[in-house]
Amino acid sequence: MTATTTSMPLLIREQTPRAIVEASSGQPASAADAEARALAAAIARGDEQAFRALYDRYHDRLLRLALVLGRGDESLAQDLVQTVFVTAAKKLRRIESDGHLWNWLARVARQASAKAWRKRLRDPTMAHAEALTEDCPALVEPDSFLEEKLDAAMKSLDADEQQLLRIFYFDRLSQKEIADQLGMTPKAVSSRLERVREKLRSLIKRALSHET
């Protein structure tokens, strides 16, 4: 199976909690766990449809994690998410539960993030890049902590800024479509998006640096 990376969109949206049902025998019996086991087994067999289901199911949460691991760097976040799915297509095997599968994906994202930052810090052309030390929260804090930081950063944006990010990433409208919807020119939308992206990056960096 070949994992396609060029069609993976960048999305930001709220996660929908999944209901968990406990079996009377005391063994995990959630639909999410059963689906995770089936997906992993099918992907190990090279099932393209299962890979797409994996992508649809975990992409958004992985992106949220990757945005914080990359300190708001969208290009790096996209690379991390793509690396995770390419790795899953090649190496994902037996999985016990939905939580086990998520932890596997998140671990790959963290490893890819650490590798990417080390590469940047070794690159003379990236001498201006912010150093990422081993004790950086983006590498050692629980996933829930990092997702909370992203949520807080998003909520710190003005309402119209949050709307702009969501209709661009979640609704996946083109800049021209956004311009038509908001009564702006595509160039104005592009400039505004860049300003909001930079603001989000700054908010994430400040949160991870424990600045006030």
User: Which CATH number belongs to the domain containing residue 45 in this structure?
Assistant: 1.20.140
Mean pLDDT by 10 residues, the chain (212 residues): 44 36 42 91 96 92 87 86 96 92 94 85 54 43 73 86 81 86 92 90 79 42
Domain membership of residue 154 (yes or no) is yes
Strand runs (DSSP E) across 42-132, as ranges? none
Query: What are 108's two structure tokens?
Result: 């790959």
Domain membership of residue 81 (yes or no) is yes
Tell me how many domains the chain contains.
1
Residue 86 has a pLDDT of: 96
Domain membership of residue 190 (yes or no) is yes
What are φ and ψ of residue 22, in 5° steps?
Answer: -95, 135
Domain range spanning residue 41? 31-208
Residue 129 has a pLDDT of: 46
**pTM, whole model, 2 decimals?**
0.68
